[in-house]
A and B are shown apart, each in its own frame.
Chain A
Amino acid sequence: MKPMLQISDVGMTFPTKRGPFVALRDVSLDVSRGEFVSLIGHSGCGKSTLLNLVAGLTVPTAGLLLLDGRELRGPGPDRGVVFQNHSLLPWLSCTGNVLLAVERVFGERESRAQLRDRALAALELVGLTHAKDKLPGEISGGMKQRVGIARALAMQPKMLLMDEPFGALDALTRARLQDELMKIVAATGSTVMMVTHDVDEAVLLSDRIVMLTNGPAATIGEVRAVPLPPLREAPRNRLEMAHDAGYLATRERVLEFLYRKQAHVEAHTA
């Protein structure tokens, strides 16, 4: 089956005052429909750059990105992005923020009532119906991030791109939102690409983990499949995972990659 997202020999070089800076080189990856892929690596390894390339916010200086066989040209609502800081507009209510995205995608074809229904459905999916008329200043960080996820999902994108979505939250909220995300993925069957720092989060949520080498000129070091049923079919229980052999083995491999093979972080990431 043809993969949904094809990243072929992609490289990214930024022109800087001190000369060209190679962020990524020779990155090739295929993501199938419905798959949950995590990008993990040390700081400065180009994970966010890669995500920006898939989101279309940057154009690669080498290589090609194809989504369903068509080359990516700039950002679009077919890839929903969730930022690390929620980026909600503070003068709009939660519903208003989600409506902004919904209007962009469906505004021409549907009536106001239908658009509103879509927005409310997205908020229900993330469990925020009770806060639909509240302003971002009136809700907690975890709730704001959920609105961000609702906004991305409401566009019914082909892919969900998440850039360290839970990085700004405390550990308990993070755990809760990870569980919510698993339920959402099970309900929608979304294809997700997530950038994360957290090894446990990566192993818990992913079907495949893509480990990047250290920057600059980072590339894919290793891709590891998680030996558990696909996330969209079976949400995982974190308490059970503590005893699961497959989970623990994968975790150990990722840690080994990050902290033994790529141990010389500080010298490169200045």
Chain B
Amino acid sequence: MVSAVFHAPLEATRQSAEEKQALRQAQGERSDAMRGEPDRDQREPVSPARDPGADSVRAEPVEAPATAPAPTPHRTRRNPIDWREFWLHVLPPLAGVELLIGVWALSTQKGGAFPTPAATFDAAWKLFADPFYRNGPNDQGIGWNVLNSLERVGLGFGLAALVGIPLGFLIGRFAVLDRMASPIVSLLKPVSPLAWLPIGLLVFKSANPAAIWTIFICSIWPMVINTAVGVQRVPQDYLNVARVLNLSEWRVATRILLPAVMPYLLTGVRLSVGTAWLVIVAAEMLTGGVGIGFWVWDEWNNLNVAHIIVAIFVIGFVGLLLEWALMALARRFEYA
């Protein structure tokens, strides 16, 4: 569940997305749409979000004239929107979603415990009509539940960042510390959050701090590892500059290491936030109280499956929003 795998910074993932785009264009011309599409959409869950018109228009001028047998519209000076390209990117994701809903509707046609898409949509409508009601400590609107969960995530993740990033710096900079920390990190990294939860309950004796502790201990690893690797991969060139200018250790850290490490650091942060959001839902299911995870378990106890499905979508959507926000932040720090 918790995988602190080192990911290369934003650049590599974006490049591979453009390569896949070029490939898709070439294939799309040859056969009509759906061959192999569902697989691709699942492998790249971020792509519908990440390549709206702008990206495709940018990538297209290089690829399209070479690969497309059917000529694209002749570009005038004012560069009009290529509607064909646009629909080629918007329709497949929509088709995928529709296919999913279609399969869902077909399989729930005969009734049973699993709700139909229509029933789920109905329930969702009611839920979102009044997301911020309060009827008591355990009966709140879905909006409050999400916010409560986000608050815990914020605290746990914030603490993890505060501890993990400086630790990553130290581990990356000083080989001795790296050798000291390496076995501990490797050992604790793959541990499931649910195994950490009892320890949190034991030490803190309360659900809220225990959940925050669980988020902390699970989301800290990507930040430590990515920051450490980033520091180790700072090009020797920059360190040479620091040496000939005879900069103090503090200046080296703030003026050279920090900007150079930033892409790696932000990738670590992205992974951590994803992990933290994952963990909070699981932790809340076990500890109860308030929050979206607790709500899921509560609705299961009420056998309100439609609400559970709505919760799944909400959790996924909030996770996506968090990811987008951090990617936007990461783009601000791109300089290469």
User: Which positions in A face B, CB cutoff 8 Å?
Assistant: 55, 57, 74-77, 79-81, 83, 85, 87, 89-91, 100-101, 104, 135, 137
Contact = CB atoms under 8 A, between A and B. Distances in A.
B245 A91 contact: no
B244 A89 contact: no
A89 B243 contact: no
B155 interface: no
Given A91-B335, A137-B336, A81 B244 contact: yes
A104 B245 contact: yes
Contacts of B256: 89
Contacts of B335: 90-91, 135, 137
B237 A75 contact: no
Contacts of B336: 90, 137
Contact of B246 (A77, A89, A91): A77
A87 B245 contact: no
11 contacts: A77-B246, A85-B237, A87-B237, A87-B241, A89-B260, A91-B259, A91-B260, A100-B241, A100-B245, A104-B246, A104-B247
Contacts of A91: 259-260, 335
B14 interface: no
Interface string B292-336: 000000000000000000000000000000000000000000011
Contacts of A79: 244
A57 B243 contact: yes
Main SS of the interface on chain B? Answer: helix
Given A89-B256, A91-B335, A137-B335, A57 B238 contact: no
Interface residues of B, number: 15
B240 interface: yes
Residue of A55, A85, A100 with most partner-chain B CB within 10 A: A100
Contacts of B247: 104
Contacts of A57: 240, 243-244
Contacts of A77: 245-246
Given A89-B238, A90-B336, A91-B335, A55 B259 contact: no
A74 B246 contact: yes
A90 B260 CA distance: 9
Nearest to A57: B243
A77 B256 CA distance: 18
Contacts, number: 43
Given A80-B244, A89-B260, 9 more contacts: A81-B244, A83-B240, A87-B241, A89-B241, A91-B259, A91-B260, A91-B335, A104-B245, A137-B335
Contact of B237 (A55, A74, A83, A137): A83
Nearest to A89: B238
Contacts of A81: 244
B134 interface: no
A100 B244 contact: no
B205 interface: no
A200 to B, nearest CB: 28
A18 B244 CA distance: 30
A194 B243 CA distance: 19
Contacts of B244: 55, 57, 75, 79-81
Contact of A76 (B237, B246, B255): B246
B167 to A, nearest CB: 24
A77 B246 CA distance: 7
Nearest to A105: B245
A89 B240 contact: no
Contact of A100 (B240, B243, B255): B255
A101 B244 CA distance: 10
Interface in B211-240: 237-238, 240
Contacts of A87: 237-238, 240-241
Contacts of B241: 87, 89, 100
A87 B238 CA distance: 6
B10 to A, nearest CB: 14
Residue of A75, A91, A135, A137 with most partner-chain B CB within 10 A: A91
A81 B260 CA distance: 21
A91 B243 CA distance: 19
A140 to B, nearest CB: 16
Nearest to B333: A91
A104 B255 CA distance: 12
B51 to A, nearest CB: 23
Interface in B246-275: 246-247, 255-256, 259-260
A87 B247 CA distance: 15
Contacts of A76: 246
Contacts of A89: 238, 241, 255-256, 259-260
A57 to B, nearest CB: 6
A54 to B, nearest CB: 12
Nearest to A137: B336
